[in-house]
Chains A and B, each alone.
Chain A
C-alpha cells in the first residue's frame, strides 16, 4: 500500500493505449495504478514491488502470457488477487472459466474478465477481490 493510503493496482498489457486508458479509468476509481508493457516487463516489475491487485492481458508476447505471468505472480505473492482480462472469447468463442477446481488449479487467477467491461462493473469486481 502506498503512503497516501491508496491501494495499488498493476495493469499489464502489450497495448500502450489500453494501458493509458485503464490507468485513467482505475485512478478515477481511487487507486494508484502502475503499468507494465508486456509479460517480461510485468515479471520485472513484480520483482521490485508488490501491488495490491493485478489485471493482466492473456495474449502478449506469447499466446498464454497471461497464464504464465499469473502463475509467476501467485508463486511470489500467493494472496495477491489476479484478474486475467482478454478479448479472446468474443472473437473465438473459446471459453476459459475459473469455476471448477481443475481450472483453478492450472489457471492461477482469481477472476477472468472480458475486456470492454463497463467501468462500474470493473470497479465492483476489483472491490470484491480487495474485500472493500
Chain B
C-alpha cells in the first residue's frame, strides 16, 4: 500500500519474479502482489481476501499506515506487516513496532534491500505458521492418547461392574460356585488395570522429564541376567528356556533404570509371546561404535502389518494366538523411548509362527 504509483510499480517489478526458499520448506515461495492506493482501499482488500504480507507506507492522505496497522492488530488478522516509509524516524519505528509491525524498509530502498526484507518476513511468517500447526497437532495427539487411555481404563471397570451386577441379580445360578469364572475374570482385569496404571506412571514421568536420570557405568550383562531371572516364574510355567550370550563387564554409560526397563520389556515379551517349550536368546555385542542388544524368540511372530504399529502406545497385537497374553500395550513404546533417550535405535524382524528378533543399538560413549 503506497499512494505513489511509481513506488507501487517499482515494488511489483522487483518482487514479481522473486522467490524465497528455506531449507525446511519443500517448495519455494512466490508472490502475488495486490496494490492499494489508500488506507481505506487497503482495509477493503484485507477484509475481502487472505493477505499474508502487507507492505505499508505511513504517509498517506486519509487513513495513514499506522491506523491500518492498528486495524490489523484489532481484528487479529493473520499477516505480517512491513512498514515502508520516507519518514524513517525513530519514534515512528518504535510506535509501529509496538503496534505489531514486523520490520522496516526506509525509502529510498534498493531492490536488494527490499528483497532482503521480504525474504526475512517470509521466513518468519512460515515459521510462525508451522509452529502454530505443530502445536495444534500436538494437542490432537494428546487428545487421541487420552481417548484411548480412558477407553483402556474404562473397559476393565465396565467388565468388573458387569460381572458384579450379574452376581447381584443371581442371573446364572444360586450358588457362588456358579460365579467362579466371573470372579476369576474380575481379578484378572484388576491385575491388568494395576499394570496399566504403573506403566502410565512410567510414561508420564518420562514425558514430563521429571524422572531424574543418573548416568553411571552400567554393566549390561548384569542387567540382562537380572531381567532373565525375574522372568523365571513365567518361563518355567511355559517351559520356555532362556539363553544369554555375552561377556561380563559389558559397560555402557547410562541410566541403570532405563537399561532395566529395556531388558525387562523385551525379555518379558519374548517369553509371553513364545510357544510352549520355546526358546529365548539374549545376546550382547560390543562393536566399535555401538553396543548391540538382541532379544530373539521362537514365538508366534508377527506380520508386517503388526510390526508397523508395534511401538505405538496401547498397541497390543491381538489374534487367535494371543488370547491369553496380558499387557498394557505401553511396554514397547516405553522401551523405545528409553532407547531413544540414550541416543539409540530399536528394530524388529519377525516371521509369523517362527519368531521375532528385536535389535537395540546403543552408541558407545
Contacts and interface: CB of A to CB of B under 8 A. Distances in A.
A92 B158 CA distance: 17
Contacts of B319: 40
Given A18-B162, A38-B318, A88-B147, A24 B171 contact: yes
B159 A17 contact: yes
A28 B171 contact: yes
A115 B147 contact: no
A103 interface: no
A28 B150 CA distance: 30
B135 interface: no
Nearest to B153: A91
A110 interface: no
A21 B150 contact: no
A21 B159 contact: yes
Q: Summarize B's interface: helix, strand, loop or mixed.
A: helix
A129 B154 CA distance: 28
Nearest to B306: A61
Contacts of B323: 37
Contacts of A28: 171
Interface residues of A, number: 24
A40 B320 CA distance: 10
A91 B159 contact: no
Given A21-B163, A92-B150, A87 B172 contact: no
Given A21-B159, A21-B163, A24-B166, A14 B151 contact: no
Nearest to B152: A59
B8 interface: no
Label chain A's interface by main secondary structure.
helix
Contact of B159 (A18, A59, A92, A94): A18
B159 A87 contact: no
A75 B24 CA distance: 45
A79 interface: no
Contacts of A17: 159-160, 162-163, 185, 189
A125 interface: no
A91 B162 contact: no
Given A87-B151, A92-B150, A14 B318 contact: yes
A18 B147 contact: no
Q: Which residue, of A17, A115, A116, has the highest number of chain B Cβ atoms within 10 A?
A: A17
B204 interface: no
B155 interface: yes
| Band of interface residues on B | 20 to 34
Interface in B158-181: 158-160, 162-163, 166, 171-172
A40 B151 CA distance: 20
Contacts of A16: 185
A91 B147 contact: yes
Given A14-B318, A91-B151, A115 B172 contact: no
A15 interface: yes
A22 B72 CA distance: 59
Contacts of B150: 91-92
Contacts of A41: 320
Contacts of B154: 87, 90-91
A130 B151 CA distance: 30
Interface in A77-132: 87-88, 90-92, 94, 115-116
A116 B166 contact: no
A63 B312 CA distance: 13
A115 B158 contact: yes
B18 to A, nearest CB: 44
A18 B155 contact: yes
Given A21-B163, A21-B166, A28-B171, A15 B147 contact: no
Nearest to A28: B171
Interface string A9-48: 0000011111011001000100000000110110000000
Contacts of B320: 41
Interface string B82-122: 00000000000000000000000000000000000000000
Q: Which 6 A-B pairs have the closest CB atoms?
A: A17-B159, A91-B150, A21-B162, A92-B147, A15-B155, A17-B185
